[in-house]
């Protein structure tokens, strides 16, 4: 299987930058793992839009998969209580 390219939106990049290192590192590792498998165990298709989410601790990573171009667009990163607001 070919590797996907990860693209972080400005919103996702700012959210990742604002987190402390011990919280951001597992999230970054989860995002990096999407290169190999964009649909890992535990991923969910969102009902409201054409996107997916994975969990990393108390944080959710929302991303879109563009299979035709092998791109994963990380749209948002946030705490589970705030991410869908």
- pTM assigned to the model: 0.93
Contact between residue 4 and residue 67 where contact means Cβ atoms under 8 Å apart: no
- Torsions phi, psi of 15, nearest 5? -65, -40
pLDDT of residue 85: 77
Write down the CATH number for the domain with range 5-79: 3.30.2310.20
55: tokens are: 């969990």
* Domain coordinates in residue numbering, the chain: 5-79
Q: What is the per-residue pLDDT across 27-44, written as a single tens digit (0 to 9) for each?
A: 999 999 999 999 999 999
């Amino acid at each position: 299987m070919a590797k996907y390219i990860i693209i972080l939106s400005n919103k996702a990049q700012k959210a990742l930058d604002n987190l402390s290192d011990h919280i951001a590192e597992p999230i970054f590792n989860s995002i990096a793992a999407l290169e190999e498998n964009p649909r890992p165990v535990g991923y969910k298709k969102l009902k409201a839009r054409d996107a997916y989410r994975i969990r990393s601790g108390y944080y959710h990573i929302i991303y879109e998969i563009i299979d035709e171009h092998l791109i994963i667009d990380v749209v948002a990163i946030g705490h589970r209580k705030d991410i869908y607001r």
